[in-house]
Structure 1
């Protein structure tokens, strides 16, 4: 995209701007789901690897509770049910289906200990950001821009793409260690507040406007100043 635009306009400038996310805080002290998957339920997003992981964990913890939340067609759901039966975890996985509102979905997610997301094709998954806001610890594959979350410190547990056995190993470790899981979750929550809350994106947007305005005259500067004042008042 950048290359295409640059060919049309060599003077074009590009800016990275985070989109703020507003997710309510749920006072859900009880975690009634051990591991959850949410988002589009497809092979590329890791639905089949998720089931394989649960199939491994159930050998050590027969009572593990897992959930899959998201839209899924009947044909693929039947395939996943057969896969779960083959892996001995059919009774452990609840297909929660599609939730008509984010509020309903988020209440369910906030009741999970771990968000397991073995995606094969993603840049910066919005579901990971949501899980951080909802204070759910995250285990995922090394895909796309996901490793960038750990640039400053480790806030997401990442394993090599396709290694679902390693996913299961990590999931068991964090299920057995509440303190370690809570520490990782708390770091991720602090990160997402600082980077995807409203304050930083607004500051970034103001700075972008300033750079674009440059020396375009007093009027542009006055409008930016008015915008800054309005933001601070709100």
Structure 2
């Protein structure tokens, strides 16, 4: 099959779920092209991007000149140059009666240029709902052909809906061929705002369990600070963007509270974001710079190395003020796959991944005391970490193994496109 991915940015270190799907499809013998608005703003690149030469199959949308006069002049030249490739698509993109500002501004015309040399696809897979809307329009214009599948992953079915209203996907739900969500929580939400339950299924985001290898986590219970110190350390880690939805402020304050009792605790936070300065101020204010580190972005192997030397993983996601919510996050799956005891929140799709008291602990959102209590409980009952680690690995391997999920995705594509193999 020939498959097109429409995404916001590629490659992106924070969206390995898209990379995993692309690689899985290639390994199954299918052709994958990726259409993105721009590249990520980090120099770090996942090694599989290079291994599979994915940039050679990635096409970026044409940049639009800021000055309208220059935009018009360049558009005239581009129309002359491309009119023979897809004349109807070019003419339709200029229909301001139907497409309003996006046509008048010429942004719609510039957007379709990347697609004009493409062959018909069996599947057009749009990653995130807003790019499903774009894919729907591109297909409607005739710039791209194929069955349209859209995956809802988090902010597109939470914040985006709150921002633009429950009807924002009304037309997409009608014209799209199939919809996927990465958890039941978001499937239910999509149905609530108008998607037919017969057109939407849950297809989880997988990880490579062979790379995130399981290891039994052993550590000695740490003595309290007012008693004799001991040299063993408890390594705690969080991976995620430093934004409100990830709730990292609350895990940081919880660790600071734990440090008042146990001194041999270290906390590493992997990620970047607009809250970095705020978190750094908290670290400085509580004088815990020797115990808490903001590590910035790390590539996959660097993350694996950090997880391999850690004991507890915290995913303190919260519903942000703008309504943004998380699915069962891949960073949590990676930690569980490697046998870490995890602490998550009763938030979004996370309870579908973590079974409270079995494969980890779940606490209320923004509850610093509850997070601290669970950390202390794990420190004082280290044998629980081992049993939780085993349960977590087993669950992730069964439900989120990317090789199984990628084959499931191929089956979905074949059913939607009609390319069924007997």
The alignment's TM-score, normalised by the length of structure 1, stands at 0.77
Q: 1:30 to 1:18 in 2, by over 3 A?
A: same
**Offset of residue 65 of structure 1:** 1.2
Structure 1 window deviating more from structure 2 (58-67 vs 40-49): it is 40-49
Q: Which has the higher helix share?
A: 1
Q: Which residue of 2 aligns with 1:68?
A: 269
Structure 1 window deviating more from structure 2 (177-186 vs 191-200): it is 191-200
Do the aligned partners of 1:117 and 1:138 also contact (CA within 8 Å) in 2? yes
**Offset of residue 46 of structure 1:** 1.6
**Offset of residue 156 of structure 1:** 2.8
Q: Give the whole-Å Cα distance in 1 for the aligned partners of 2:315 and 2:215.
A: 24
Q: Which residue of 2 aligns with 1:104?
A: 302
**Offset of residue 36 of structure 1:** 1.0
Q: Unmatched 5+ residue regions in structure 2?
A: 1-128, 130-151, 153-168, 177-195, 220-232, 319-324
Q: Which residue of 1 aligns with 2:289?
A: 90
Number of equivalenced pairs:
215
Higher relative contact order (CA 8 A, sep 6+): 1
Q: Which residue of 2 aligns with 1:182?
A: 386
Query: Which structure: larger Rg?
Result: 2
1:49 matched to 2:250: yes
1:193 matched to 2:394: no
**Offset of residue 187 of structure 1:** 0.5
Q: Give the whole-Å Cα distance in 2 for the aligned partners of 1:7 and 1:111.
A: 49
**Offset of residue 72 of structure 1:** 4.3
Q: Give the whole-Å Cα distance in 2 for the aligned partners of 1:177 and 1:30.
A: 11
1:167 matched to 2:379: no
Q: Give the whole-Å Cα distance in 2 for the aligned partners of 1:153 and 1:174.
A: 11
> Residue deviations 1:155-178, cap 9 Å, x none?
231001111101100111012212
1:22 matched to 2:208: yes
> Residue deviations 1:2-32, cap 9 Å, x none?
9633334679722322343215127697776
The alignment's TM-score, normalised by the length of structure 2, stands at 0.45
Q: Give the whole-Å Cα distance in 2 for the aligned partners of 1:208 and 1:175.
A: 44
